[in-house]
Amino acid sequence: MLKTIFILGTGFLLTALCMLSISEAAVIAVDYGTNWFKVGLVKPGIPLDIVLNRDSKRKTPSVLTIRGEERIYGTDAVNLGARFPFNTYLSLKQIIGRLADDKYVQAYQSVFPNKIIPDPLRGTILFQHNETTVFSIEELLAMQLSYARELAEATAHESIKDVVITPQYHIFYDMGAGSTKASLISFKTVEMKDIGRFNKTVINMDVISIGYDRTLGGQEIDIRLRSYFAEKFDKTYEGKLKESIIKSPRAMTRLLKEANRVKQILSANTETVASLENLHEERDFRLAITRSELETMITDLIKRVNGPIQDVLNNAKMTLADVNSCVLVGGGVRVPAIQSTIKDIVGEDKIAQNVNGDEAAVLGAAFRGAGLSRQFKVKEIKIKDIASYPIKVDYESELKESEDGTMNTKTYRTILFDEYTSVGTRKIMSFKRTSDFNFSINYGNLNENILKDFGPTDIAAAKITGLSDIVKKHNDNGIEQPKLKVTLQLSDSGIVSVIDAVATIEHQTISDKIRTFFGVNNNKSDEALKEVPFSDESAPPDNASQPVPGENDTQTNDTEQIQKKIESIPLNLEVEYLGIKPMGFNEKDAAIRRLRTMDETDRRRRAREEARNNLESFVYNLQDFLSDQIVIKVSTDKQRKELAAKSSETSEWLYEEGEDAPIESLLTRLNSLRLLEKPIVYRRDEHARRPEAVNAIQSAINSTREFVEKIKGNTTVERYHTDEELDKLLNVCNKIEKWLDEKLTEQNKIEPYVDPVLTTVEIERMLREIEREFLIVATKRPPKRKATPSATTDSESTNNVNNTDSDQKSTTTQVVKESPTHEEL
């Protein structure tokens, strides 16, 4: 019995651990682009790789169609796009985080037919999906990201990808669908001390500088091609059309898709034909186009290719000669004219060929994710990213009397994080002020060129209060003016936030008096002093962490002890983050509820499909079941006929009304079939298991008896079991043996198609009873030997007797040892 428990236990543990590693250890990375998204996955035991989507493709169109309660993603959504242009959402990345009146949003609206309305509270984008439903752009994006997660959860994976990087300078030229970015990156291998006496090799990856063209991208090419096609179409049917093709969202959506296809074909061929049947007002579209025609349409775009490269070099004060290679990333660089322009600029020999540009970003992100998660051993890469824009703080001085006797303030503007500050940096601003004040944080020193595309430059407005009160109190107590320290952070994601504001007071005072100095806040300020005494680099030297008042209480005496103390008191800090406001609580709540409802609908649809599959496979497998020899033995003709009839009726129903039947009808049908099947299955299983169970209990009885005999018959060892105990165990054996014999006789008299009188459940119960009684006897410990004057104090010797109790323990520990070792990457 113990063995059975042990196996069950092990099995359970294994299952539990596997589930843990699936749900907790996997890291996924999503490279969400304007046209496509890619999903990377790292999981213990599975190499870093791209997740395949349901079409076994490595990238999925960033497209979503919502039809009724159903959501359709990727290629299927692209295909539905032409039929349901208003309910299909494309290229959302171009406008996420923008205000509805932004010029990019206007440009988007001229391309896509979806109806955009401004969010009344935030000014951001809402889509009027139909008369009754509005989706925020955030919700639509959330749906696609959770779909990406589903893909990662569902997909199987392929072979290892080695990432090989040499330390050097590289330009990553990334032209996506909507924007282009060049980054100059240096890789260095650095030897670092690892644990113990070992060195480890770490790759330092530093982003040196960045160059942008925020509107240069592959999609602009599609749009131009489409305009060209539309113009040609209108011209071809001039005078025959009721209205221009431009007025038909459906036709324009199809035309955009065709433009993208033609662009891709022209990347590998010099000419092709654009062709769409029944495009607009029942007229077909057919047009031959050459690569050079396409290139003349985009000459101005090609001229802009160089911009980001020059910017990145200028910013880094380097020349192309310093750069080892240029890695082309993103879909945009596939266009031959663009690729050859880059080759002309940097030199063909510097174009890195070994990187799959389209996938580099998501693999990198997955790699980074794995590094951050601490669950994985990845080759260590230290990454230093930088802020792309300088960030400054504006504030006004306190009122001061100027030379002419008037009271004035002065405005200060200080660059806090300059353009190439590493992300993940904290700064402390120190002020000498005596009253509450405010300051603002914004992007500063932007040139005209950047400003024109930039949108709002304000980041946050902060207000500090509580200072005036403290100063007033201090004045009353004759203590020095406080200093004010405000901590700001540029997060790893490049987001600026105000962490805290504290007033610090340095005073020479009597230690005990400090405790009551701030009255009600007494406890708090003590804590603050312990927790945050200037943990930052720019703080004054460490004298701040002097003994906390009170620690030395036992030493204070009548002679008052003078100490120098620095105390920090948190101030009230209100920060309003400007720019795009986060979703309000109610909106977020409503969005979450709506997404849950849709998820629930998805879940119900899947549950229904599952119920249907179960019913189908029941019907399908029934014939096999009914022709099984044991089943025939343990059931009557009548029972089998009834089941067969019900099953064939269900089969007919399934392919008629059952096609659209609700889950409840499917489940009811399955249940009524199972109800007929169940007693037969029960008898079949009992029939199969009974002999084994009978054998098990008989041998348990036999070995228990042998065990008792052995104890009774052993004369070499002093016996410590009483006859009573041993007889009780034997009696249990006899009683159960008698029960078994009777039941067996009875069972042998009845037909196999009648429910058994001797069941395996009962046998199991009896087996437990024997086991319980057996353990009482077997685990009894011998009495401790009385210590005699002549004996040594060693009473442990009695423990030399082997007992089953400790056997049992070792079995239990084994279960724990069974846990599998964690797989590593």
The residue ranges that bind ligand NAG (CB under 6 A) are: 66, 68-69, 129-133, 191, 199, 396, 438, 461, 463, 520, 522-523, 540-541, 543, 547, 551-552, 555, 557, 559, 561, 695, 698-699, 702, 710, 714, 716-717, 800-802
Minimum separation from the CB atom of position 701 to ligand NAG (A): 7
Q: Distance of CA 757 to CAs 693, 732, 737, Å?
A: 14, 21, 16
* CB nearer ligand NAG, residue 130 or residue 779: 130
* CB nearer ligand NAG, residue 127 or residue 228: 127
* CB nearer ligand NAG, residue 406 or residue 555: 555
Minimum separation from the CB atom of position 191 to ligand NAG (A): 4
Minimum separation from the CB atom of position 86 to ligand NAG (A): 10
* CB nearer ligand NAG, residue 143 or residue 631: 143
In whole angstroms, give the CA distance from residue 601 to residue 607. Answer: 10
* CB nearer ligand NAG, residue 524 or residue 768: 524
Yes or no: say if 429 and 464 are a contact pair by the CB < 8 Å rule.
no
Please tell me what DSSP assigns to residue 655. T
* CB nearer ligand NAG, residue 475 or residue 523: 523
Minimum separation from the CB atom of position 289 to ligand NAG (A): 37
Minimum separation from the CB atom of position 774 to ligand NAG (A): 16
In whole angstroms, give the CA distance from residue 547 to residue 512. Answer: 12
* CB nearer ligand NAG, residue 573 or residue 676: 573
The distance between the two most distant Cα atoms of the chain, rounded to a whole number of Å, is 127
Which residue bears the tokens 């009170």?
A: 550
Minimum separation from the CB atom of position 517 to ligand NAG (A): 12
Minimum separation from the CB atom of position 21 to ligand NAG (A): 34
* CB nearer ligand NAG, residue 356 or residue 702: 702
Residue 184 is inside which H or E element, if any?
Answer: strand 180-193
Copy the structure tokens of residue 181. Answer: 């970015």
State the Rg of the chain over Cα: 39
Minimum separation from the CB atom of position 336 to ligand NAG (A): 41
Minimum separation from the CB atom of position 796 to ligand NAG (A): 12
Helix extents (H) in 44-136: 74-81, 103-111
Q: Distance of CA 461 to CAs 393, 496, 788, Å?
A: 10, 12, 86
Minimum separation from the CB atom of position 53 to ligand NAG (A): 23
Which residues, including other chains, have CB under 8 Å from residue 255's CB and lie 6 or more apart?
226, 229, 230, 233, 245, 276, 279, 285
* CB nearer ligand NAG, residue 430 or residue 702: 702
Closest CA to 281 of 231, 232, 247: 247
In whole angstroms, give the CA distance from residue 416 to residue 546. Answer: 30
* CB nearer ligand NAG, residue 557 or residue 788: 557
411 bridge partner residues: 396
Minimum separation from the CB atom of position 647 to ligand NAG (A): 37
Yes or no: say if 653 and 705 are a contact pair by the CB < 8 Å rule.
no
Which residues, including other chains, have CB under 8 Å from residue 595's CB and lie 6 or more apart?
139, 142, 143, 146
Minimum separation from the CB atom of position 87 to ligand NAG (A): 7
Yes or no: say if 199 and 191 are a contact pair by the CB < 8 Å rule.
yes
Closest CA to 268 of 365, 339, 211, 316: 339
* CB nearer ligand NAG, residue 477 or residue 698: 698
Minimum separation from the CB atom of position 411 to ligand NAG (A): 9
Copy the structure tokens of residue 115. Answer: 């109806």
Question: Which amino acid is present at 432?
Answer: K
* CB nearer ligand NAG, residue 185 or residue 736: 736
* CB nearer ligand NAG, residue 551 or residue 628: 551
Which residues, including other chains, have CB under 8 Å from residue 593's CB and lie 6 or more apart?
none
Minimum separation from the CB atom of position 414 to ligand NAG (A): 16
DSSP 350-401: GB--SS-HHHHHHHHHHHHHHHHHSSS----EEEE-B-SS-EEEEEEPPPEE
In whole angstroms, give the CA distance from residue 777 to residue 610. Answer: 52
Copy the structure tokens of residue 672. Answer: 């009524």
Which residue bears the tokens 């101030």?
A: 571
Minimum separation from the CB atom of position 179 to ligand NAG (A): 31
Q: Distance of CA 453 to CAs 388, 441, 531, Å?
A: 15, 19, 44
In whole angstroms, give the CA distance from residue 323 to residue 340. Answer: 18
DSSP helix/strand/coil, 326: strand
For residue 306, the tally of other CB atoms under 10 A from its CB is: 17
DSSP helix/strand/coil, 203: strand
Tell me the HSE value of 287 on the side-chain side, using a 13 A CA sphere: 24
Tell me the HSE value of 27 on the side-chain side, using a 13 A CA sphere: 25
In whole angstroms, give the CA distance from residue 432 to residue 484. Answer: 6
User: ∠ CA(729), CA(731), CA(737), 5° rounding?
Assistant: 110
In whole angstroms, give the CA distance from residue 126 to residue 138. Answer: 9
Copy the structure tokens of residue 472. Answer: 């007033």
Tell me the HSE value of 732 on the side-chain side, using a 13 A CA sphere: 24
Yes or no: say if 95 and 108 are a contact pair by the CB < 8 Å rule.
yes
* CB nearer ligand NAG, residue 223 or residue 578: 578
* CB nearer ligand NAG, residue 409 or residue 449: 409
Minimum separation from the CB atom of position 437 to ligand NAG (A): 6
Minimum separation from the CB atom of position 398 to ligand NAG (A): 9
Minimum separation from the CB atom of position 100 to ligand NAG (A): 20
